[in-house]
Amino acid sequence: MAKMWAGRTDGNTEKIADDFNSSIRFDSRMYRQDITGSMTHAAMLAAQGIITSEDADQLIDGLSGILNDIDNGALAIDMACEDIHMFVEQVLTERLGDVGKKLHTARSRNDQVALDIRLYLRDEIDTIAALIKELLMAIVEKAEQYKATIMPGYTHLQRAQPITFGHHLMAYAMMLLRDLDRLKDCRKRMNQSPIGCCALAGTTYDTDRRFEAERLGFDGICLNSLDGVSDRDFSVELLGALSTLMVHLSRFSEEIILWSSWEFKFVELSDAYTTGSSIMPQKKNPDMAELVRGKSGRVFGDLMGLLTTLKGLPLAYNKDMQEDKEGVFDACDTVKMCLQVFTGMISTMSANTANMKSAAQKGFINATDLADYLVKKGLPFRSAYKISGQLVALCIEKHTVLEELPLDTYRSFSELFSEDLYQAIDLTVCVEKRISEGGTSLASVEAQIAYVKGMLTK
């Protein structure tokens, strides 16, 4: 097919070269951004007297017609075109004749694609941020429901100290809040307009880049034209933020998978978010959580792919940069799906509070509290720690728990023990006494919930 850029060459490329070169298969999803950018460009050209306002009106009408036609299915995107930019310009020229050919004055596909991708990803960030907020709401609701539910807290996956399920859930809420913040931060740096950088060096036309930037909702413009067309650090940053988000979702998934196993039986997932096995009738598999954990790998891969694509590129534009899109689109699609499924899974999940409690009762997780008891009675912590450890060893030997040991036994280890020790090692008391900010006490978890809720209304 003859090319719009035919001139220096005859433009008669081999079909296989065309297919290889083409990006329309994946960049067609930016048609709205491409057309919006072109409408703004036409308006700027007229405002600066570079084209007439009659021409600009025709271009803008023509572009808005193309947008409508694509939206309502009247115009199919031609996958034989090189990219979405060429497609839109080609249709415009078919519809308007020579006027259509004026649109590409004082711009290049290099600044055009840099613009489109920023506009597209800016919207994706907003969508993803809204989905994170929905997940946060679901987590906060669960945390509220289970703010007094005692469970073992773990280190090294060994029972460590008693906490509440609400406290545990709120840990993920804090991580997701930072993920939101990272996205906001990334959006800020992404939101600088590259349009007007042209091919690489700017232009001899008297353009007004700030007019375009303002109309397109940017906070400012890329101040160096080479930089504007050749960096994709905003996509790297977004992929970094999405990768971190996926780390959080993946860890949360891993816990849900563990908790819903017969070995733990801490949570029950809704049938709507689990699957059965085709051979083992007893199975209820946490596939959604496993997939979220698994899909984290592809998002990290998207990040690595882009970093690797960019690392050896000389300035300014190189065709390698066409490879910037699929990965970041895939990451956005993946994250959006993961967040939606995760929110549904969390909001329909219930805790098996009795099992959590009994696991908490079996793990000597009040041993620190026992040591603290002796410290409060005047013993140095290291000595108290040792006695507490010896008492745990004794319990293990006698197949009992700290709560069941008689006072006499305690007193044979230290005269400082008296009847009130049983109160000090009661699990509810252990939780309630952890009043330090951020700790597991009810008041502290309530404060965390209030904080996150407050952040969500901002």
| Interacting residues with ligand ARG (CB under 6 A) | 23, 27, 83, 109-110, 113, 317, 319, 321-322
- Using alpha carbons, select from 175, 148, 139 the residue that is nearest to residue 444: 148
Q: Using CA atoms, how far apart are residues 131 and 337, in angstroms rounded to an integer?
A: 10
CB of 322 to ligand ARG, least distance (A): 4
Q: Do 292 and 250 contact (CB within 8 A), yes or no?
A: yes
CB of 88 to ligand ARG, least distance (A): 12
CB of 122 to ligand ARG, least distance (A): 17
The reply to whether 156 belongs to the active site is yes
CB of 75 to ligand ARG, least distance (A): 20
159 or 232: CB nearest ligand ARG: 232
Q: Using CA atoms, how far apart are residues 7 and 93, in angstroms rounded to an integer?
A: 18
Q: Using CA atoms, how far apart are residues 270 and 209, in angstroms rounded to an integer?
A: 53
Residue of 64, 277, 383, 418 with catalytic role: 277
28 or 361: CB nearest ligand ARG: 28
Instruction: Please provide residue 378's backbone torsions phi and psi, each rounded to the nearest 5 degrees.
Output: 115, -5
Say how many C-beta atoms besides its own lie within 10 A of residue 192's C-beta.
17
Q: Where are the alpha helices (DSSP H) in 191-224?
A: 209-215
CB of 317 to ligand ARG, least distance (A): 6
- Rounded to 10 degrees, the C-alpha dihedral 324/325/331/335 comes to 140
Say how many C-beta atoms besides its own lie within 10 A of residue 282's C-beta.
7
Cβ contacts of 147 within 8 Å, gap of 6 or more:
164, 166, 167, 442, 445, 446, 449
CB of 311 to ligand ARG, least distance (A): 17
Q: How far is CA 312 from the centre of its chain?
A: 28
- Using alpha carbons, select from 99, 60, 80 the residue that is nearest to residue 18: 80
Q: Where are the alpha helices (DSSP H) in 216-349?
A: 225-230, 233-259, 287-311, 324-347
Q: How far is CA 80 from the centre of its chain?
A: 34
Q: Using CA atoms, how far apart are residues 398 and 412, in angstroms rounded to an integer?
A: 16
CB of 83 to ligand ARG, least distance (A): 4
DSSP codes of every residue in 339-392: HHHHHHHHHT-EE-HHHHHHHHHHTTTTHHHHHHHHHHTT--HHHHHHHHHHHH
82 or 372: CB nearest ligand ARG: 82
Residue of 156, 278, 399, 436 with catalytic role: 156
300 or 317: CB nearest ligand ARG: 317
Dihedral (CA of 227, 228, 231, 235) sign:
positive
Q: Using CA atoms, how far apart are residues 129 and 261, in angstroms rounded to an integer?
A: 31
For residue 412, count CB atoms less than 10 angstroms from its CB and return exposed for 0-12, middle for 13-18, buried for 19 or more: exposed
The reply to whether 193 belongs to the active site is no
3 or 182: CB nearest ligand ARG: 3
Taking every pair of C-alpha atoms in the chain, what is the biggest distance, in angstroms? 101
41 or 109: CB nearest ligand ARG: 109
Instruction: Please give the positions annotated as active site.
Output: 156, 277
